[in-house]
Copies of this chain bind each other. A is one copy, B any other.
Amino acid sequence: MESSATNFRELCQQHGIAVTHQRQVLFEIMQGMHGHPSPEEVYARVKKKIPAISLATVYKNIHLFVESGIFREVSMHHGTLRVEMNSRPHHHMVCSMCKSISDIDEADLGLLPSHQKLPGGFLVERYAVDVIGICPDCQAKKSN
């Protein structure tokens, strides 16, 4: 099949990035993975195909793919430890541009059905909702 190769080439053209061997192998291997792999896990797999590849290249390309919208990262806020100081039931609005996090009261969001058990047998304690979007500040900046 060369359909995926052709697709990747087109994908790169759409996003204005060069089609390199490393980038293509990385993309194909990532497409074949499941779950929520870390850069190290991706690196381990790619090294089997390209033993000389650098971990830095893996990081750089994962970021590139995420910025291009080809892949998505699991959490918008995987950075540093943050402590929650709002003891009221609330959720979070996360700006996809500036990454700012602000609170929104549970009541202001139209509530979730609070199942006790989900399919699979997972026992629910609570819901934590990230509303991802554009904060007012970034909306203003964008419309310039």
B133 touches A124 (CB 8 A): yes
Stretch at the interface among A3-11, A13-21, A33-41, A48-56: A33-41
| A36 to B, closest residue via Cβ | B82
A83 touches B37 (CB 8 A): yes
A123 within 8 A of B: yes
A36 touches B85 (CB 8 A): yes
Given contacts A74-B83, A75-B75, A83-B62, contact A128 B125 (CB under 8 A): no
Which A-B residue pairs are the 6 nearest by beta carbons? A110-B113, A74-B82, A36-B82, A121-B136, A128-B130, A125-B133
Given A110-B113, A127-B130, 17 additional A-B pairs, CB 8 A: A37-B82, A37-B83, A39-B81, A39-B83, A62-B83, A73-B82, A74-B84, A75-B75, A75-B78, A78-B79, A93-B118, A93-B122, A104-B119, A109-B118, A123-B133, A127-B129, A130-B130
- Could you jot down 28 A-B contacts, CB within 8 Å? A34-B85, A35-B85, A36-B83, A37-B82, A37-B85, A38-B80, A38-B81, A39-B80, A39-B83, A42-B83, A62-B81, A62-B83, A65-B83, A71-B84, A72-B84, A73-B82, A74-B82, A93-B120, A96-B125, A104-B120, A112-B112, A112-B129, A118-B131, A121-B139, A122-B134, A122-B136, A124-B133, A129-B130
